[in-house]
Structure 1
Amino acid sequence: MEHEELTHKIIGACMEVHGELGNGFQEVIYQRALAIELASRGLNFSREHEMEIQYKGEAIGTRRVDFFIEESVMLEIKAVINLEDVHLAQAMNYLEAYDLEIGLLINFGSKSLQFKRVHNNKKIKQSGK
């Protein structure tokens, strides 16, 4: 499945959850609802997926991403009033640390669902796209 098609499906699932629940809940509530919605749409995922972070080839720790979908897209969710630069920087750092090409940053905390596609420019250059 192409990244664009997959991210479109994921965003659609997030819109469904936001449409049903609205804003104002804690992040874990949206995680649980989104897990149900992703499964109902036949998407393979792991939740609270632990990934190793390396520095110059050495393992230096782990970090958990909210969702890892179809073994290719990282999804980080927030439940804040507005996404800020620090949230975007976190998502971009995760992509680079996990050596992934694309991820999504979703915010359920605003009145309208906020989402950003996040690209790992280093990975895109390596693959020649």
Structure 2
Amino acid sequence: MITQKYINELTYKITGFAIEVHKELGPGLLESIYEKCLAHLLKQNGFEVSQQQIVPINFRGLKLNADLKLDLLVNNLIIVELKTVETILPIHEAQLLTYLKLLDKPKGLLVNFYCTNIWREGQKTFVTEKFRELPKGY
């Protein structure tokens, strides 16, 4: 059974792997490099990872091919959006929140590799109503 506790533990592990990638490579590389390295590390550790998955848009029966692609989907539960920007802007947060809504996923993780410490300043998590409805599992 999927619980809030399980998803929170999964998020913690993903963040830990992002920190490992950041410590080894440092800031200043392209987003695509961090994506490939993080996906590789997650897969090596038994996680199911989908990269550059298309995010479909259905508007009142109209199916749009807007070529939206999320960076990583981990265990079909958590959307991970990666950035390499000086400052996370509201548009970056809005992008992740929209992906969560369109794909009906419970939690998202926004990771910015252009920082000195991912744990303190380089990551933000977002939950949806779907997450709130899950059993706590504690």
TM-score (norm 1): 0.89
Q: Alpha carbon RMSD of aligned pairs, Å?
A: 1.8
Structure with larger RCO (C-alpha < 8 A, sep 6+):
2
Contact conserved, 1:23 with 1:110, CA < 8 A, in 2?
yes
1:47 pairs with 2:51:
yes
1:57 CA displacement:
4.4
For 1:39, give the aligned amino acid: K
Render the CA deviation track for 1:42-88: whole Å, top value 9, x for unaligned. Answer: 11111111231222344223521100110111111001112111111
Q: Once the two structures are aligned, what percentage of the paired residues are identical?
A: 31
How many residues are treated as equivalent by the alignment?
127
* Counterpart in the other structure of 1:92: 97
Q: Say which SS state the counterpart of residue 87 (structure 1) adopts.
A: helix
For 1:63, give the aligned amino acid: L
Q: Which runs of 5+ in 2 are unaligned?
A: none
After TM superposition, the structure 1 stretch with the greater mean CA deviation from structure 2, 65-74 or 45-54, is 45-54
1:124 CA displacement:
4.3
For 1:94, give the aligned amino acid: Y
1:17 alignment partner, one of 9, 15, 21: 21
Task: Give the ranges of 4+ consecutive aligned residues of structure 1 lying more than 4 Å apart after TM superposition.
Answer: none
Greater share of strand residues, 1 or 2?
A: 1
Render the CA deviation track for 1:9-46: whole Å, top value 9, x for unaligned. Answer: 11111010001011001101101111221112111111
Q: Which runs of 5+ in 1 are unaligned?
A: none
